[in-house]
A and B are shown apart, each in its own frame.
Chain A
Amino acid sequence: MSKDEITIRDFCRRTGQLVELDPGHFLLLPPPYDKLDIQPKFTRLSEENRKKLESDLDGVSALKFPRPQNEDEKRVLVEKFLSGLKKLFDRQENWTFMQPLFLTMEFCAKCQTCAAACPIYNESGRLDIYRPTFRSDILRRLYKKYVKTGGQFFAKLSGNDIDASWTMIARLMELSYRCTVCRRCAQSCPIGVDNGLVTRELRKIFSQEMGITVEPLHAKGSVNQLRTGSSTGMSRTPFLDNVEFLEEEVEERTGMKFKWPMDKAGADILLIHNAGEFLAWPENPEAFAIILEAAGISYTLSSDLCAYDGVNYGVWYDDVQFAKVALQHAEVARRLGVKKIVIGECGHAHKALTVIADRVFTGEHNIPRESSMTLLHEIIKSGRLKLDASRNDDMTTTLHDPCNLVRLMGVVEPQREVLRAVSNRFREMEPHGVNNYCCGGGSGFAITKDLNFPDFRNQISSRTKLRQILDVFQDIIEPEHKKYVCAPCSNCKGAMRDMFAAYGLFERCNILYGGLVELVVNAMVDIDKPFIEWEWH
C-alpha cells in the first residue's frame, strides 16, 4: 500500500490508514547504513492505540488525539475547524500572518519545484502525502470553498471540490505535524509561496480554535513555561541549585572558580539559554560562563519566570502563546535594565526573540536582541581569549546550520569564523549555510517523543541530516577517527541525540555531536584538561 499514489480525493474519502511506513521504501543511506538490517525498525502503533487514537494518515500519532465516539462529536469538531479556518483569513484574528498566508493561497503555480527541496518528502521515498504542496492544496481548496465568496459554486466548477469531513480533518491534523517548518521549500519556490507557513497556520487552527496541540509543545511546553518558569518544569530554586552545581563542576573541570552573575540589574547583557541545556548538556552553559568570564563581559543570567529558558514553542504552533512568552522575556530584560538580550545556542529561541518578536514588542519592551554567535565571534576577534586550535586536532569537525538561525535569520558566518579559529580540521557539509537541511527536529519534533513519532523523526525527518553527516565524514567513517558535529542549537542537539542513538552513530562511527562553545573552551590554552569528554552521554 505504501507506494500507492494517494490523491487529495483519497485523503478526504478513503477510510482506514492511508499509508503504511516501511523502511524498505525510504531512501538508501550511505555506508555503513546502506544495509537494511542495521537500520532501526519502524514501530507500529499497538492495535489498541490504533483503535483509540486518530492515526489514519500514516499509522503515526503525534497528537494522540482520541477518535470521536459518534457523529455528533465529529460534527462539532468539523464546525470548530471551519470556524478556525475562517479566522485565519480575518484581518484582526490573524493580523500576524494573514498577508503571507493569503499570498500563498492565491499564487501557487503548482510547478512542484518545492518538492525536490523537501527532505521529508524525498527521504520517505516520495510519499504523496508528504509532498509540500499536498498539505497546502488541501488548505487552498478549503479556503476557496469555505472562506471565499461564492466558493461553494466555484469549487464545483473548477473540479477542486472537497468536503470538510472529520476523516479529512483528522488526517490534516496529523499531517500538520509531518513538516518541520524548515522552509526549504519556500526558499526554492520561484513565486515565493510558503508551504512551511501553511503547516504552521494549520497548527494554529487546531491549537487556537480547537485546543489541540502536541503535548510537549503546549501543556508540557509553553503552558508549563509560563507557570513554572521553564518548559522543562524547572522552577527558580532548582534552577539556582543547578547553577550552583555547575559552578562547582566548572571549578573541578577547569580550576576556574567564579560565581555566575545572576539577576544583576544594570548588566550590559541578559544571556538567555535554552533551559534544556542546564539539564541535558550542562557543558554548554558552563562553556559560555567560562568564555564570558575570561573575556570580561558584563552580563547576567536571570532566575525570573521564563528568563532562564529561551524556548518559545509558540513560534511553531500558536501566536498567542508565542506573544505571552516573548513578552515575559522582554519584561525581565526591561526590569533588569540591560542594554541587550543575547540568546544562547538555541536556534528557535534566536528566531523567536529577534525576528518574530520584532513585531510584538513596542515601547520599553523593544530592547535590542542579539545572537550569541556574533558575540562569540567578536570575543574571538578581539583576542581576549588565548586559543590554540591544535588542541582540537584529534577530531574532525563539521557544522550543522540550524534553520532558524541561518536560513530564517541570516546568521551564517560568525559561527563559521569561530569554528575556523578553534578547529584546524573543519569541513563543510553539502549543502550548507542558508541551503542547509533541517536536523529533522524542527518545529517541535525534537521534543515530541510519544508513541512511534520518534521513529518518524529518526528515520524520515532526520534522515537527510544523517546522510549529510555520513557523507561529510565518509572518507574517515571508521571508528578510529574522532568526528564532531557542531550543532549550535539545543533543539538540533535533541534531534541528533535521538538519531545518533537510534543508529548507533557514536559506537559504530565514533561521531559525537555538541555545541560550539565547548570547542572554544577546549581550545583555551589556560585550561589544562580537555573540556570535551569524548564519551556518549
Chain B
Amino acid sequence: MKVTKRGILGLGSIAIASAFVLTGCQAATDDGGDAPAGGKLTVWVDAERVDALKGAAEAYTDKTGVEVELVSKDNATIKDDFIQQVPTGEGPDITMGAHDWLGELTTNGVVAPLELGDSAADYLDVAIQAATYDGTVYMLPYAVENIALLRNADLVPEAATSFDDMIAKGQAAGLTQPFVVEQGAEGNPYHLYPFQTAFGAPVFGTDASGSYDPSDLQLGNEGGFAFADWLSGQGKNGTGVFNTDIDGAIAKQAFLDGTAAFWLTGPWNVGSAVDAGINVAVDPIPSPTGEAAQPFAGVKGFFLSAESENKVAATDFLVNYLGSEDVQLELYKSGNILPALSAAAETASSDPIIAGFSAVGADAVAMPAIPAMGSVWQYWGVAQAAIINGEDPHATWEKLAADVAAAIG
C-alpha cells in the first residue's frame, strides 16, 4: 500500500508540475505577443467584407502600433451578439452594422456616440442623417443602399415615365405580369414605400433638426388613405399587379425568366440578373401620382461599443482610417453598393448600375431608426397584405394608423 501511494503522489506531482509548465508557457507567449503600445482593437465585420478591411487594418497597425483584429461574423447574428455581449465586457470595440439598428442599440445602451468633426460634411447627406440619432452621431457610414426599378432592356427598351406607363409598356411587350415586387403573406412595406411616399404619406414627420419625430405619425394622413385605395385597386380585386403570393424567390424567377420586364428590388439582386444574361437597366421608380416615389435608404456603417476600453484608438481608427476614400472604395468593390463618402461615391458612379441606384437614391429618405418604428413594422405589412387581398382599404388603413398610434403610446 505504502509504495503505491507514494508512486501515485510522485506521478501526481509530475502531472501538476507539467500542468504548471504548460500554462506557464501559454501565459509567457501571451505576454510576448502583445503589441508594444498595449492597444488592441477588435472589429466585428460581416464575412464578405473582411478582405476589404485588411489593408486598412494593417496600415493602422503600422502607423500607430495598435493591433487591429478583424473578426468575421455572420451578418444575421451580429446585432444580437453585439447587444448581448457588450454588457458582459466580451463584445468588440467596433462592429459593422446597419443604421436602422440604431434605435435598438441606443435603447440597450451598447453604442457610444461618435464625433465625426468637420469630416461630417464629406459624406452624403442621407448617410449623415441616418447615422444621427436624437441629434447625436453614432455611426461611421460606409455605404448607402436603396431599391430601384430593374428593367429588362431587351423586352422594354425605354424607361417608363409613370406607374401606368410601366404596366402599359410591359403589356405592349406581350407580358401578362409586366411588373413584379417582392411581397409575401405578411406584406413587404419596405418595397411598397416609394409608392406610399408618392401619395404624400411618410411614416413620421421630421422635427426642426431633420430627425424623425415619433409623436408626429403621418401614416394616417389623407395621403395614406389615397395610397390604400390605390393599393386596393392594384390588388386581388383590381388589376392584380400586387400579389401577396409573390415572394422574393417568385419575383426573381419571373424577372430572370423574362415573364416580367420590371422588378423593383435592391442592388443585392443585380448580380444574379446580370449573370442570367439579362440586359439590365436601372431606372427611377415610376410614380403612380406624378410626385417623386422615394424609397427608403439603408445606410451601413461602423458602431463604437459603449464598453470599449480603447475608445480613443477606436475613434481614431474609425474617423481617420475607415472614413478615408481608399477604404470606402475598397468596401464598395467588395459589396457593389454606393459608398457613403461623397468623393468615393462619385468615383464609384462611373459604373452605370451604381449610377442608376445612386440617381434613385438622391430622392431616398433614411429609414427611421427610432424605436417607435418597431411598432410600425409590426402592423404595417400585415395591413398592406390585407388590403392587397381585398379587405376594405379605408377601414384597414384606419385600424393600422390607430394600432400604431396606440402601440407608440
Q: Tell me whether A and B are bound partners.
A: no
- The residues of A with any CB-CB pair to B shorter than 8 Å are none
- The residues of B with any CB-CB pair to A shorter than 8 Å are none
